[in-house]
């Protein structure tokens, strides 16, 4: 969709086997699952990011069980594929293009891992919106 296309056009640099790939205008939220205050924390982070004007997008790596939560917060599935190449291997070697998996290393056997759900949200710069979790005290 359009959001996926926007993300693909974003500036990025780096080495996936070194420092990683850096997307300077994309922020990532991680590790808020099962804390019972995740809605409040995500809302707080989104408000801070939107007020800062430092990022244009925020992404999360969701599982099937957490995707509904992020969907209610305004995130949309953008999908992702990855080309896993063994270190020192030739492009196109190994398993080739597969569904993206977060929490994996470049040389890990990705065939035994569940696929991740990449979700993204376009930030509204300069705004501090009241989000959908406000009825939960957030």
> What pLDDT shows up at residue 27?
92
pLDDT at 2 > cutoff 50? yes
The C-alpha atoms of residue 93 and residue 106 are separated, in whole angstroms, by 13
pLDDT at 96 > cutoff 80? no
Q: Determine if the pTM surpasses 0.75.
A: no
What is the rounded average pLDDT of the residues 3-24?
A: 87
> What pLDDT shows up at residue 54?
92
Does residue 135 or residue 48 have the better pLDDT?
48
> Which of the four pLDDT bands, split at 50, 70 and 90, describes residue 92?
very low
> Which of the four pLDDT bands, split at 50, 70 and 90, describes residue 97?
low
% of residues, the chain, pLDDT over 90: 17
Structural tokens at position 114? 């569940």
> What pLDDT shows up at residue 24?
93
Does residue 108 or residue 53 have the better pLDDT?
53
């Amino acid at each position: 969709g359009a959001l996926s296309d926007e993300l693909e056009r974003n500036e990025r640099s780096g080495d996936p086997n070194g420092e990683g790939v850096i997307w300077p205008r994309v922020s990532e939220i991680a590790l808020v699952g099962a804390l019972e205050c995740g809605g409040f924390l995500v809302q707080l982070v989104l408000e801070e990011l939107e007020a800062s004007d430092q990022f244009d997008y925020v992404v999360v790596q969701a599982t099937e069980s957490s995707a509904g939560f992020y969907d209610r917060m305004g995130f949309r599935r953008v999908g992702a594929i990855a080309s896993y190449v063994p270190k020192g291997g030739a492009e196109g070697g190994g398993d080739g293009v597969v569904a993206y998996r977060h929490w994996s290393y470049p040389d890990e056997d990705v065939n035994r891992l569940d696929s991740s759900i990449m979700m993204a949200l376009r930030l509204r710069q300069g705004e501090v919106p009241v989000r959908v979790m406000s009825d939960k005290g957030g």
